[in-house]
Amino acid sequence: MTFLPPAPCGAPQRVLIYSHDTFGLGHLRRARAIAHALVAEAPGRRVLILSGSPVSHAFRFAPGVTCRRLPGVTKLASGEYQSLGPGHGLAEVVATRTALIRHVAERFDPDLFLVDKEPAGFHGEVLPTLHRLRARGCRLVLGLRDVLDDPALLAPEWERKGALAVLPLYDALWVYGLEAIYAPLAGLPLPAGTAGRLTYTGYLRREVPEPAGPEAEGDEAPFLLVTPGGGGDGCDLVEAVVEAYEAHDPGHPALVVFGPFFPAAEQARLRARIAAHPRLSSLDFDARLERLMHRAAGVVAMGGYNTFCEILSFDRPALILPRVRPRREQLIRARAAARLGLVSTLEPQEGGPAPMAAALASLPHRPPPSARPVPGLLDGLPAIRRLACTVSAPRAAAE
């Protein structure tokens, strides 16, 4: 057995992070940011991420952080799920993932188990591991993004999944946002004692990654970065930008980064139109999107959690075109941020080439988020490092 040097303040030396990742990049990128912050504080600490992302191999992880991939599943337009592997039914894949999660947890023997977003995991796959680790004395934490969904939609979803009944297993719940912006569990019939274990950390600050090789900066013209995140649901965003440039040129160069999950046929069609416009260019995917955002004069995005954190971290003027289906999460976040003056928005009913082009033309001249200071806005990672030291040992029995 390898003995690790002690972490500060009695903090956990081995942290297991579960990130179900059925769609997009958000869960993996959030888990990665938290893992890197935890090992930066304590070099002897080890963090293992369990992720279902099919592009986890494209990301670099800090020393002390390991990512192990779970068999992939994907979300269909209908809202149903299916296996990414041919010839495997969903029930079979969930059983395999459940067994793998339990096996890894038993071998790794974490001091802290951090579950991202889904209290019971995808289709309940993390429940057996929660019970086993709790019996071993491992501290259990549920991490939630700032917005989950409209309460009217979230309540029946969590009731159907049995998520509310799982909450008493957790020793702490961390919300990666601010209550002043949004309270993701408001309106839910929470079990007794849950509110007392709930902490708002602030958003997760992002840093510009080191260049992978020689890289020239500072000599290009100011440009707008257009990013639909993972891209799986980004067709409407990119279509709106391209259409605005074709009809009413906003006057600034724009770089579209499609993302790894952008539908291939739509990407080919849009790439041809982008190539025909002198102010537009495109990339398929960049795992170090932070560097592009840091250099951009403005950002056009759908408003997912990680993109929002990056907009705040790099202090970029941003135009948000939120997705409204199948969840209203991005719309809720965009409206809350716009009320505080942190971003500007164009909602679906306000669309069209002319309003879009006008918004794009003015974007680089809009004030950045720092023009409207919000106390504690980006304190998430320091707060998580502190909280990791202070999560109480598991209670004798679930409340």
Dihedral sign, Cα of residue 47, residue 227, residue 283, residue 378: negative
**CATH code at 23?**
3.40.50.2000
Closest among 387, 330, 318, 271 to 147, alpha carbons compared: 330
The reported pTM is 0.90
Question: Residue holding tokens 């006008």?
Answer: 358
In a domain, 50, yes or no: yes
CB crowding 325-364: b at 16 or more within 10 Å, else e: eebbbbbbbbbbbbeeebbbbbeeeeeebeebbebbbebb
Kindly indicate the confidence band of residue 209, based on its pLDDT and cuts at 50, 70 and 90: confident
In a domain, 295, yes or no: yes
In a domain, 3, yes or no: no
SS3 348: helix
Highest mean pLDDT pick, 12-16, 80-84, 313-317: 313-317
Q: Provide the 10 A C-beta neighbour count for residue 396.
A: 5
Same domain, yes or no: 172 and 262: no
Q: Is 304 exposed, middle or buried (0-12, 13-18, 19+ CB in 10 A)?
A: buried
The span from the CA of 320 to the CA of 228, in Å, is: 10
In a domain, 12, yes or no: yes
Beta bridge mates, 168? none
Same domain, yes or no: 135 and 262: no
Task: Give CA separation, 388 vs 66, 158, 162, 361, 392, in Å.
Answer: 19, 26, 26, 44, 9
Same domain, yes or no: 95 and 124: yes
**pLDDT, average across residues 116-129:** 95
Same domain, yes or no: 128 and 255: no
CA 297 to chain centre: 23
Same domain, yes or no: 172 and 230: no
Q: Is 236 exposed, middle or buried (0-12, 13-18, 19+ CB in 10 A)?
A: middle
In a domain, 2, yes or no: no
Higher pLDDT, 11 or 1: 11
The span from the CA of 132 to the CA of 146, in Å, is: 29
The span from the CA of 332 to the CA of 135, in Å, is: 38
The span from the CA of 68 to the CA of 231, in Å, is: 23
Q: Does the pLDDT at position 357 exceed 60? A: yes
In a domain, 212, yes or no: no
Answer yes or no: are the C-beta atoms of 116 and 24 closer than 8 Å. Answer: no
Same domain, yes or no: 193 and 288: no
**pLDDT, average across residues 275-303:** 93
SS3 47: strand
Question: Where do the DSSP E strands lie in the chain?
Answer: 14-19, 46-51, 65-69, 73-75, 81-83, 112-116, 139-145, 172-176, 198-200, 224-227, 254-257, 280-283, 298-301, 318-320, 344-345
Same domain, yes or no: 69 and 181: yes
Q: Does the pLDDT at position 258 exceed 50? A: yes
Task: Give CA separation, 290 vs 139, 222, 223, 280, 314, in Å.
Answer: 32, 16, 14, 20, 8
Higher pLDDT, 236 or 27: 236
Residue type, 185: L
Same domain, yes or no: 146 and 167: yes
Q: Does the pLDDT at position 289 exceed 90? A: no
In a domain, 397, yes or no: no
Same domain, yes or no: 166 and 34: yes
Same domain, yes or no: 237 and 363: yes
Domain that holds residue 150: 8-205+378-390
Q: Does the pLDDT at position 398 exceed 90? A: no
**pLDDT, average across residues 246-274:** 94
Calculate ∠ Cα 108-113-115, nearest 5°.
125
Span 49-71, pLDDT tens digits: 999 888 777 788 999 999 999 98
Same domain, yes or no: 347 and 267: yes
Domain count, the chain: 2
Answer yes or no: are the C-beta atoms of 73 and 56 closer than 8 Å. Answer: no
Same domain, yes or no: 181 and 247: no
Higher pLDDT, 10 or 196: 196
Closest among 148, 190, 196, 141 to 169, alpha carbons compared: 141
Q: Does the pLDDT at position 399 exceed 50? A: no
Closest among 12, 383, 328 to 174, alpha carbons compared: 383
Q: Does the pLDDT at position 79 exceed 90? A: no
In a domain, 211, yes or no: no
